[in-house]
Amino acid sequence: MPMAKLLSSRAFDPETTSLLGAAFDKAWQTMQTSGSPLADEKHAAATREILAKNILAAGHRGDRDIHQLVEEALALLIISNDTSARGADMRANDAEASAVERHS
C-alpha cells in the first residue's frame, strides 16, 4: 500500500505529512541500498507497507525526529521479519517432527 494512501487516511498537518513521507522515503532508500532481500521485488510491497505503518504509528505517538522515525521503522521491520522467520522455522520443525513420528 503506497505511503500516500496511508497518509490520506490519517489526520496530519501538511508539515507532519511531509516529514513522515520523507522519513518513509529515507527508510526505503536505506533498505534498497542495504542489499537486504526484503527490498527485492518479491518482498518490496510488503516491506514498504510495514515501513509506512511503523512510521505512521510513530507519527501518531508524536515522534517528529526524522532520524528517529527512520531508525525505529527499520528496527521494527527487522524484528518483525526475524519473528516471522522464527515462526516459519518452528512450523517447519513441527512438520518435520510430525513426519518423523508418523514414520516411527
Q: For the chain, what is the mean pLDDT? A: 80
Distances 3 to 48, 67, 86 between C-alpha atoms, Å:
8, 18, 28
Question: Which amino acid is residue 76, in one-letter code?
Answer: L
Q: What is the pLDDT of residues 4-35, one digit of tens each?
A: 555 555 678 999 999 999 999 999 999 999 99
pTM for the full predicted model:
0.72
User: Which carries the bigger pLDDT value, residue 73 or residue 1?
Assistant: 73
Residue carrying C-alpha cell 532520524: 67
Nearest to 81 by CA among 28, 39, 30, 23: 39
Q: Average pLDDT of 93-98? A: 46
